[in-house]
Structure 1
Amino acid sequence: MSVAPTHVAVLMGGWANEREVSLMSGNGVADALEMKGYRVTPIDMCRDVAARIAETKPDVVFNALHGVPGEDGSVQGMLDLMGIPYTHSGLATSVIAIDKQLTKQALVPHGIPMPGGRIVASDELYERDPLPRPYVLKPVNEGSSVGVAIITEDSNVGNPIARDAEGPWQEFAELLAEPFIKGRELTTAVIDGVDGPRALGVTELIIETGFYDYEHKYTEGRTQHVCPAQIPPNVAALCEEYAIKAHNILGCHGTSRTDYRWDEEQGEDGLFVLETNTQPGMTPLSLVPEQAKHVGIDYAELVHMIVQEALRVHSPAKTDVQSQEAAHG
């Protein structure tokens, strides 16, 4: 008697700023899962998504959403209530990791260096700079470097920032202001397996102009990926150590990706964690598939590993719930 293939609903799209990237990730994931023999149902995130998932009756949901509401705990809480296993991190982890200030509060006490800074009301920026220039302004709860601005002495925004100057202050009521850290862009992916989390290496991102923002991340040719990064072994080891530590402290599952700025003039003391991404992209230009390929894990196998980890993570909880129901039945 043949066993029915595992049914995976791939959740993608949605209405966040990163919709198009999510669709690219989701379609790639769906194709890879079909290659691996899974039964796949793609679902474009909509307001009645709970009803659509209930109708689909998947064994597991592959969360290929980026940004709100797929990365901030909203979808995770919904799926928890529905009792459906899903990939990547859970509710509490998602709530903390998407909030850059909460992430600092979680990681810095454990010895992970991150830039200082504070949350400021956007209206304050029209009166005075919150930090000495140069400094960075970024939304507190967005991914993929959406809405990030670097304010320098030469910035064409005025001093203080003019109300009519284009920037994230026109879109977000509050922003996180951080000191600008000069140096190189580095990133390390982590993947869970039966033996625990594993760092996949370090990639350096060399940008033609500006910084590694949304456009550079998802426009072919705008950023050069050097994998493995040509950096000292001790700095590479520290990147991997911090990435695994952040993955564990935040309670990530499946995959995560930790991003850094490194001022090589300061050696190990110049390495700073910027953020840990709990829903890394899975597009052809994405960093997690690239690092996985470098260590011998092709795209289809990577997706398969993420699904299997989700089933492992959620099976004990599901069994416990079923046991409690039986005891009270």
Structure 2
Amino acid sequence: MTDTLNIAVLMGGWSAEREVSLMSGAGVADALASLGHQVTRIDMGHDVASRLAEAKPDLVFNALHGTPGEDGSVQGMLDLMGVPYTHSGMVASVIAIDKVLTKQALVPHGIPMPGGRVVRSADLFEGDPMARPYVLKPVNEGSSVGIAIVTADGNYGSPIGRDVVGPWQEFEELLAEPYVRGRELTTAVLGDHALGVTELRPKSGFYDYDAKYTEGMTDHIFPAEIPDAITQACMAYAVEAHRLLGCKGCSRADFRWDDERGVDGLFLLEVNTQPGMTPLSLVPEQARHTGMSYPELVRQIVDEALRDGAMTRARG
């Protein structure tokens, strides 16, 4: 049992994932209180540094999603303040939230990811950047925010219409990737081991933001009903990506698997360094299926952060 600590839970913020972060933070704060810790809940605003200085926490539990809590900004601030915190550090966060940098870090080490390139949104109105079907997504967002699947018979037009609603209206640049048909798989990593593989089956459309966070819109199959070779590959790739990126605490690796191609059809899409901790989130769900309660999951994340902080102070 960890000694009683003063822990600040950072949540909310101003990203597109604010509401999810508030739910994650509330769950984490309740779990920490149940473990006997003193908890300060902070809905992050631009005065976050002064609020943290006032709270004087022993540790920050980072329950933020998206920018600036997941892109290295908050991590850099906490490093300067000398306050230990959960989850990944600044460098890992900067790389993992950027889908292009993630490819550059992982693909040379044998982790399969879809090819792709960054395109100017304005150029999409002149013609397709690659053969359809393909996927367009923001370079620096999570939770399937702003994803569009462009198909030959879709409603976006050919070329994409300037007035059609889509991520090209919100972002100047987008990452274009070939569409990988098949099944949606995800693997949580806690510390240095994978918890398992979940298959996500949206009841309509694809696994977008609404499907992730609206109860009843997606079936979660755990353990995934897939061949053992695919399960082992997902878990091995997830752990290796966690290690290569320098992730801490927990992360979640998302995959697409073309089940007509065997292991050759498995592609890692992204690594989430700040996975959701809501009642519908995948990391707590996988932990629960392996016999770990929600408070125990939170405790393990806190314990790793404390060990990492102690090592950092020893090196300093």
Q: Give TM-score scaled by structure 2 length.
A: 0.99
**What is the alpha-carbon distance in structure 2 between the residues aligned to residue 210 and residue 121 of structure 1?**
26
**SS of residue in 1 equivalent to 2:119:** strand
Quote the Cα distance in structure 1 between the aligned partners of 2:261 and 2:77.
Answer: 45
Residue aligning to 2:224? 229
Mapped partners of 2:150, 2:205: distance in 1:
12
Within 1, Cα distance between the matches of 2:188 and 2:59?
Answer: 23
* Corresponding position of 1:280: 275
Aligned-pair distance for 1:320? 3.2
Residues 12-35 of structure 1 show CA distances to partners (whole Å, capped at 9, x for unaligned) of: 000000000000000000000000
> Cα offset for 1:112?
0.3
- 2:238 equivalent to 1:252: no
- What is the distance in 1 between the residues matched to 2:227 and 2:157? 39
When the two structures are aligned, how many residues end up with a matched partner? 315
Matches within 5 A, 1:91-170: 91-170=90-169
Residue equivalent to 2:213: 218
Q: Look up the SS of the partner of 1:176 in the other structure.
A: strand
Partner Cα separation in structure 2 for residue 202 and residue 132 of structure 1: 31
Amino acid at match of 1:126: F
SS of residue paired to 1:54:
helix
2:198 is the alignment partner of 1:203:
yes
When Rg is computed on C-alpha atoms for both structures, the one with the higher figure is: 1
Q: Encode CA deviations 1:97-118: one digit per residue, 9 max, x unaligned.
A: 0000000000000000000010
Match of 1:57 in 2: 56
Gaps spanning 5+ residues in structure 1: where? 322-329
How far the C-alpha of 1:314 sits from its partner, in A, is 1.1
Runs of 5+ consecutive residues of structure 2 not aligned to the other structure: none
Root-mean-square deviation (Å): 0.9
C-alpha distance in 1, partners of 2:64/2:280?
Answer: 16
TM-score computed with the length of structure 1 as normaliser? 0.95
* Candidates 235, 240, 245, aligned match of 2:235: 240
Residues 46-93 of structure 1 show CA distances to partners (whole Å, capped at 9, x for unaligned) of: 001000001000000000000000000000000000000000000000
Q: Compute the displacement of 1:222 (Å).
A: 0.5
1:18-57 to structure 2, matched below 5 A, reads: 18-57=17-56
Q: Judge conservation of contact 1:10–1:40 (CA < 8 Å) in 2.
A: yes
Q: Distance in 2 between the 1:120 and 1:161 partners? A: 13
Between the aligned partners of 1:29 and 1:304, the Cα distance in structure 2 is 10
Taking every aligned residue pair, what percent have the same amino acid on both sides? Answer: 68
Is 1:314 matched up with 2:313?
Answer: no
For residues 57 and 21 of structure 1, the distance between their equivalents in structure 2, rounded to whole angstroms, comes to 26
Distance 1:112 1:265 in 2: 19
The SS at the match of 1:187 is strand
Question: CA shift at 1:4, angstroms?
Answer: 7.1
In structure 2, what residue type is equivalent to 1:18? E
Which residue type is aligned with residue 19 of structure 1?
A: R
**Shift of residue 285 of structure 1?**
0.2
Q: Which residue of 2 aligns with 1:88?
A: 87
Is 1:190 the equivalent of 2:185? no
Letter in 1 for 2:127: R
Q: Which residue pairs with 1:326 in the alignment?
A: none
For the residues of structure 1 that align with 2:76 and 2:288, how far apart are their CA atoms? 32
Q: Distance in 1 between matches of 2:135 and 2:61?
A: 33
In 2, are the aligned partners of 1:83 and 1:318 still within 8 Å (CA)? no
Matched AA of 1:148: I
Deviations 1:135-183 (A, max 9, x none): 0000000000100000001111110001000000000000000000000
Change (3 A) 1:312 1:4: closer
Q: Distance in 1 between matches of 2:308 and 2:315?
A: 12
Deviation at 1:319, TM superposition (A): 3.0
- The one-letter amino acid of 2:51's match is R
Question: 1:263 maps to which residue?
Answer: 258
Report if aligned partners of 1:217, 1:223 keep a CA contact under 8 Å in 2.
Answer: yes
Separation of aligned partners in 2, 1:120 and 1:319? 45
